[in-house]
Amino acid sequence: MKQTLLEKFYKYINIDTQADPTSQTFPSTKKQFNLANVLVEELKEMGLEDAHVDDKCYVMATLPSNIEKDVPVIGFLAHMDTAPDMSGTGIKPNIVEDYDGEDILINHEKQMFLKVEDFPELKKYVGQTLITTDGTTLLGADDKAGIAEIMTAIEYLTQHPEIKHGTIKIGFTPDEEIGKGVDHFDVKKFGARYAYTLDGGEVGELEFENFNAAYAKVMIQGRNVHPGMSKYKMINSMIVGSEFNDMLPVFDRPEFTEHYEGFFHLIKFDGTVEESAMQYIIRDHDRQKFENRKKLILQVGDFINKKYGEGTIKIEMKDQYYNMREKVEPVYHIVEIARQAIIEVGIEPKIKPIRGGTDGSRLSYMGLPCPNIFAGGHNFHGKYEFIPLESMEKATQVILKIIELYAKQ
């Protein structure tokens, strides 16, 4: 199984699928179809005759049931795109066998190391096989590890027809990294009653709750006057923007929060004396606290307008997604099945909230309850990304065990 996983993972990460947040098309980049087409062909070769990719770059396929009794149709999903944060072109992975627990030289030419001092979690994987970047790109384990794990599990089932299972649905999505992954996903067509995304982090993670999320754009109108003659006349929009930001709680920023703590995150600030624009993402697991955060943004805007004049601040705000917990709790047995599967493959479950979102969070509100399972990687979206091959193997085993547990219902 390890060799199959490694071959598939290498194949998938060598296909550039980086998403583009500035694009007005869907998917945001046509090159995502390159991986989609490869996956469809592989699924057809496995015998999944309905495997296809549609014009929105959604891959879907069905592994028919081989048992007579009626069990819930379940799905497994992962996303094909990689993050826009760093290049996904020309990925050159390093493989470190029998890791010794020391710093890893990932790029000889640049003398770039993956250091234990910076990433102490490396110590958890002594003796295992680690796959790293070469320090010039991301690795793409988010979420091509998830794809490789699903594909390996399905291939294993097709090669072992003696293993009993219900109907299994497979789905691969584009543009998850830019928040559009299920914009056009047809839940009814997909046909699963419950599903799981393979898009989590380290081995053992199981998540059924995530942030409530909103986006806010703050536009600031200043007044530019020659600085030599500007006393009591100039309004510097950048200074006003800084004042706006300073009125939000300092310790409610991402760099000071963890676990269930929410935040305001200033992600972009462009400006001149005359005009500025600031972009925020607002996050909280608790729905009421989330609503209160949005209100605070508006209240600060009102204060600035009273101080400098109406129209100084204009705010555009929109919700992005909500905490899937609300939709998963009524069918909590799907979390318990995943938890039991993790235990039965010899791993300690780590049930914790996602400090972000997944395709599953939105799918849960579209009628498809969808917890998230670990894919095994670390340090996503950057040059220090790595993944233990053994974690990928465990994720694949969890998929197979979940399928087995549903078949026994």
Residue 45: active-site member:
no
Q: How far apart are CA 152 and CA 73, in angstroms?
A: 19
Q: In this structure, how many other beta carbons lie within 10 angstroms of the beta carbon of residue 243?
A: 16
Angle, CA 268 vertex, CA 224 and CA 214 arms, to 5°: 120
Q: How far apart are CA 3 and CA 222, in angstroms?
A: 61
- Cβ neighbors of 290 (< 8 A, separation 6 or more) are 212, 214, 262, 282, 283, 284
Catalytic residue selected from 176, 177, 209, 252: 176
Angle, CA 100 vertex, CA 99 and CA 105 arms, to 5°: 75
Q: How far apart are CA 361 and CA 359, in angstroms?
A: 6
Convert 214-230 to b/e letters by CB count within 10 Å (16 or more is b). bebebbbbbeebeeeee
Q: Where are the alpha helices (DSSP H) in 172-319?
A: 187-190, 237-246, 287-308
260, 351 Cβ separation under 8 angstroms: no
Residue 176: active-site member:
yes
Q: What is the DSSP letter of 17?
A: -
Closest by CA to 273, choosing from 245, 305, 234, is 234
Query: What is the per-residue DSSP string for 151-210?
Result: HHHHHHHHH-TTS----EEEEEES-GGGT-TTTT--HHHH--SEEEEEEE-STTEEE---
Q: How far apart are CA 338 and CA 196, in angstroms?
A: 9
Q: How far apart are CA 283 and CA 254, in angstroms?
A: 9
Q: How far apart are CA 130 and CA 113, in angstroms?
A: 14
Catalytic residue selected from 16, 42, 81, 252: 81
3 state SS of 402 = helix
Q: Which residues are catalytic?
A: 81, 176
